[in-house]
Amino acid sequence: MTFAFAALVAGALLGIPKLIAPRRLTPVKAEPFECGMDPIAVAEGRFAIKFSTVAIFFILIDIELMFVWPWAVLYRELGWFGFAEMLVFLGILMLGFLYIWRKGGLEWE
Amino acid sequence: MTHAAFLVIAALAVASALGLVLRRNAIHGALFLVVNLGSVAALYLTLGAEFLAAVQVIVYAGAIMVLFVFAIMVLIPGKEETGLDPRRGWRLLALPVGALLALQLLLVVRAGVGPVAPAAAVPGGVEAVARLLFTRYLLPFELTSVLLLAAMVGVLLLARRRV
Amino acid sequence: MTPLAMPPVAIGPLAPVLIVLGAAGLVLLLDLLPRPVGRELIATVALAGLVGALLATLARWGKPGRAFQDMLVLDDFALFANVVICYAAALVVMLSIDYLGRNGPETGEYYALVLFSTGGMMLLAAAGDLIVLFLALELMSLSLYVLAGLFKRELAASEASMKYFILGAFATSFLLYGIALIYGATGTTNLDRIAAAAAGRAHDPLLVIGLGLLLVGFGFKISSVPFHMWAPDVYQGAPTSVTALIATGSKAAALAALIRVLVTALRGSQPDWAVLLWVVAAITMTVGNVVAIAQSNLKRLLAYSSIAHVGYMLIGVVAGGSAGPGAVLFYLLTYAFTTAGAFGVLTLCERAQAEAVEVGDYAGLARRHPVLAAALGLFLLSLVGIPPLAGFVGKFYLFAAAVRAGYLWLAVIGVVNSALAAYYYLRVVVFMYMREPEGAGARLVPSFAGGLALAIALIGIVLLGVIPAPFADLAQAAVAPLLR
């Protein structure tokens, strides 16, 4: 009983301010504290944007792969017709690949 | 057996989705998203949609998450997001929008009452997909490659640094 | 499993699109040659592709064709829309030769993407299946997102591209969700089969929600209120030649697809979408015109004006029957001529004096460049809807269709709005003719291609205004295959 009462009082003391106390967060309060100095910059460096370019090309080729797989499963049944279909599909994509390559999209520096 | 599998996978999916929303660290959120995408892929598998499950893992959990992580690393280098969200008030919008989605889900479920077809009867295997993709859906298939080509050219145009 | 039956491959109905996409591939290859080829050559190849597609389209007139198991429906409706699209894209290419000369180095990519997006637009107008519709829409939009950010060193261009991309992707996901729900309700993505499956159960909740989501997606693409917020920023930030393509071609394609989906697949829900679009049309016209009055930037002004014009065109969609969509098709033709022309004059003026896009920059244009001022004046008067120019006839058919279908109030709102619109169009004309120019201003000499493009547009609006009947009849006839 005593224990429950104590828990109730403690809970109320913690809980009521949480509900009714004004909390005005300002940007200054939310800043990390650096010995009273304004933080100059974030500690970690930034990633180069070229990683994302490569990642986008990866997605595009990845999606292409998802079409080749079912084609390979049904390769024999589809015969020459399917071969021609895939040739057109890959031909169009290879044009894009050639374009990226020749335009220097794959060069790192 | 399938029922138990569903419960476990669904719990995993919901938990990881909650983790994604509640974590303040963007990278942790991204990792939760990977788990979420993976568990949804497992749900597809239990429904017999092998191809969809594989696409989910390879394209979403694989390629697109890589891009997500890169984007996070480029944009938010800090450990935790610091500072106040200037648009806190907008979060309240989540309630009506969520309610709307729940209502819609209810309608959809009610419209589709009745026993769900057994998983094996749904042809979702790779071969079934291939049969349709390379005959009936020939035009969309070839069109996809044109779309990918346009995307390649566009990426190159926007991302190339010099010029 | 049953043995695989190889589908018949009929290239014929695909020919116009193939020509455009082939030209795009050729442009990319030309761009890769070890010795750089001239910009003019690349532009010429692009133009040749578009003219070829235009001719291929005209050659198929009256010979409707379906291909790939009804995935592609190249009926007269699609052909008419394709003519508008090819024509608008050709004008844009001709104007780009001048415009890019000053501004952009990335010629190959630019023309290739213009052609890709044109191919997407043509497919969009001819899509007989929701999957093809989605892919075509993506092909068109993806290319336009990139083109909007072509001048990536300019902040406004990056903003335009970013905004267009994020909001556009969001809208497309709505559309895709709508497609998924409609598929769930009917079990097919083919437009004709959706109509058959949906017959008699127009109030299936899945179908209604799917229709609503579809309208959200399309509403964004045609920039109708409340999904218009992107238009002014994108129109302003994008290169002006690209703005012309967004305002004419993409709008024509999306409206054509919207009409096809509503009139064929969702004809059973006609009472639902007619009421919804009634409201959207009224708000779109009014918001577009009222906000346009406050604009001082000419590109933004034309953006809001294009929003208002979408409102007018939605009147025709609401009116329905054969008269309504027919009037919309005809209006698209006049609108493409007029808007491409107006943006064309803007590209030339921008080229001469760094960024002449404020209305004030056009003060005294009549004194310095009487011909250009007269051209812009005529385009603006056509947008107002002053007879005998094309804009007047287009509006006349729309309002007449609405009145005949019993939507008197909608027509009245349209007429009031047209009167309201006269204010801001004429203000530009007043600036050009009655104000003194500030400073000397550079000489403007459009190249042959640019001048030709403007001349074609001018002849177009006068011709359509003076003898509209044959073209309007063609538009009416083109709608017939949808209504069967």
Task: Tell whether A76 is covered by a domain.
Answer: yes
Given a contact cutoff of 8 angstroms between Cβ atoms, the answer to whether C464 and C471 are in contact is: yes
What phi and psi values does residue C289 have, to the nearest 5 degrees? Answer: -70, -40
Query: Which residue from B110, B150, B163 is facing C143, i.e. has the nearest CB?
Result: B150
Chain A residues closer than 8 Å to B123 by CB: none
Query: Which residue from A81, A95, A103 is facing C25, i.e. has the nearest CB?
Result: A95
Chain C residues closer than 8 Å to B52 by CB: none
Average pLDDT, chain A: 82
Mean pLDDT of all residues in C298-323? 92
Of the candidate ranges A13-27, A39-53, B95-109, C380-394, the one whose mean pLDDT is the lowest: A39-53
Task: Tell whether A75 is covered by a domain.
Answer: yes
Given a contact cutoff of 8 angstroms between Cβ atoms, the answer to whether C238 and C246 are in contact is: yes
The pLDDT assigned to A37 comes to: 67
Helix, strand, or coil (residue C232): helix
Residue A91 identity = G
Name the residue ranges covered by the structural domains of chain B: 1-78
pLDDT (tens digit per residue) in C256-266: 999 999 999 88
pLDDT band at B118 (very low <50, low <70, confident <90, very high): very low
Nearest 5 degrees, angle CA B131-CA B132-CA B137? 140
Q: Is C139 in contact with B154 (Cβ distance < 8 A)? A: no
Mean pLDDT of all residues in B18-24? 86
Of the candidate ranges B1-10, B110-119, C267-276, C360-369, the one whose mean pLDDT is the lowest: B110-119
The pLDDT assigned to A44 comes to: 56
**Is residue C469 less than 8 Å (CB to CB) from chain A?**
no
Q: Does A32 score more than 90 pLDDT? A: no
Those chains having 3 or more beta-carbon pairs within 8 angstroms of chain A are: B, C
Residue C316 identity = G
Closest CA to A62 of C438, B58, C157, C41: B58
Residue C209: CB partners within 8 Å, gap ≥ 6?
A: B104, B107, B108, C178, C181
DSSP C125-179: HHB-BHHHHHHHHHHHHHHHHHHHT-STTSHHHHHHHHHHHHHHHHHHHHHHHHH
How far apart are the C-alpha atoms of C423 and C419, rounded to whole Å?
A: 8
| Residue A87 to chain C, least CA–CA distance (Å) | 15
Compare C437 and C348 and report the one with higher pLDDT.
C348
Task: Give the CA distances from residue C73 to residues A81, B83, B102, C13, C65, in Å, rounded to whole numbers and listed in that order.
Answer: 23, 55, 37, 8, 6
In this structure, what token pair is assigned to residue C171? 């809208």
Q: Is C206 in contact with B139 (Cβ distance < 8 A)? A: no
Domain B1-78, second-level architecture: Up-down Bundle (1.20)
The pLDDT assigned to B111 comes to: 67
How far apart are the C-alpha atoms of C257 and C67, rounded to whole Å?
A: 17
In this structure, what token pair is assigned to residue C475? 């538009």
Give C422's DSSP letter: H
Q: Does B120 score more than 50 pLDDT? A: no
Of the candidate ranges B22-31, C317-326, C405-414, the one whose mean pLDDT is the lowest: B22-31
- Model confidence, pTM: 0.89
Query: Which residue from C7, C145, C204 is facing B136, i.e. has the nearest CB?
Result: C7
The pLDDT assigned to B139 comes to: 92
Chain A residues closer than 8 Å to B77 by CB: 42, 44-47
pLDDT (tens digit per residue) in C90-123: 999 998 887 886 555 667 889 999 999 999 999 9
Average pLDDT, chain C: 89
What ipTM was reported for this prediction?
A: 0.92
Of the candidate ranges B61-75, C48-62, C324-338, the one whose mean pLDDT is the lowest: B61-75
Given a contact cutoff of 8 angstroms between Cβ atoms, the answer to whether C225 and C280 are in contact is: yes
The pLDDT assigned to C114 comes to: 96
Q: Which of B155, B160, B163 would best serve as a mutation to test chain A binding (most A beta carbons within 10 A)? A: B155
Closest CA to B138 of A40, C270, C296, A81: A81
Mean pLDDT of all residues in C69-87? 92
Q: Does B160 score more than 80 pLDDT? A: no
Nearest CA in chain C to B163: C105
Helices (H), C246-356: 251-260, 270-293, 298-319, 323-352
| Residue C172 to chain B, least CA–CA distance (Å) | 15
**Per-window interface: C 9-48 vs A, CB < 8 A:** 25, 28-29, 31-32
Share of chain B above pLDDT 70, in %: 82
Given a contact cutoff of 8 angstroms between Cβ atoms, the answer to whether A42 and B77 are in contact is: yes
Q: Is C4 in contact with A95 (Cβ distance < 8 A)? A: no
**Is residue C136 less than 8 Å (CB to CB) from chain B?**
yes
Q: Is A103 in contact with C6 (Cβ distance < 8 A)? A: no
| Residue A65 to chain C, least CA–CA distance (Å) | 18
pLDDT band at A14 (very low <50, low <70, confident <90, very high): confident
Query: Which residue reads 């829409």 in tokens?
Result: C137
Q: Does A48 score more than 80 pLDDT? A: no
Given a contact cutoff of 8 angstroms between Cβ atoms, the answer to whether C182 and C211 are in contact is: yes
* C-alpha B120: how far from chain center: 24
Q: Does A29 score more than 80 pLDDT? A: no
How far apart are the C-alpha atoms of C56 and A77, rounded to whole Å?
A: 35
Q: Which of C32, C142, C146 would best serve as a mutation to test chain A binding (most A beta carbons within 10 A)? A: C32
Bridge partners (DSSP) of residue C297 are: C358
What phi and psi values does residue C22 have, to the nearest 5 degrees? Answer: -60, -40
Task: Tell whether A20 is covered by a domain.
Answer: no
Mean pLDDT of all residues in C364-378? 86
Q: Is B67 in contact with A52 (Cβ distance < 8 A)? A: yes
Closest CA to C410 of C281, C228, C272: C281
* C-alpha B66: how far from chain center: 14
Question: What is the domain extent for residue A85?
Answer: 50-102
Given a contact cutoff of 8 angstroms between Cβ atoms, the answer to whether C179 and C134 are in contact is: yes
Task: Give the CA distances from residue B85 to residues A26, A27, B21, C213, in Å, rounded to whole numbers and listed in that order.
Answer: 10, 9, 15, 30
Helix (H) or strand (E) run with residue C121 in it: helix C107-126
Nearest CA in chain C to A104: C32
Q: Is A52 in contact with B71 (Cβ distance < 8 A)? A: yes
Closest CA to C41 of C30, C53, C54: C30
Chain A residues closer than 8 Å to C4 by CB: 74, 77-78
Nearest CA in chain B to C72: B139
Helix, strand, or coil (residue C66): strand
Q: Is A95 in contact with C29 (Cβ distance < 8 A)? A: yes
pLDDT (tens digit per residue) in C220-244: 999 998 899 999 999 998 989 999 9
How far apart are the C-alpha atoms of B109 and A104, rounded to whole Å?
A: 51
| Residue A5 to chain B, least CA–CA distance (Å) | 33
Give B64's DSSP letter: I
Query: Which residue from B135, B143, B156 is facing C4, i.e. has the nearest CB?
Result: B135
Closest CA to C111 of C59, C171, C40, C14: C40
Mean pLDDT of all residues in A59-79? 90
How far apart are the C-alpha atoms of C118 and C139, rounded to whole Å?
A: 9
Highest mean pLDDT among A49-63, C34-48, C175-189: C175-189
Q: Is C32 in contact with A74 (Cβ distance < 8 A)? A: no
Given a contact cutoff of 8 angstroms between Cβ atoms, the answer to whether B43 and B11 are in contact is: no
**Per-window interface: A 27-66 vs B, CB < 8 A:** 27, 30-32, 42-53, 55-60, 62-66
Span between the terminal Cα atoms of chain B, in Å: 60
pLDDT band at B117 (very low <50, low <70, confident <90, very high): very low
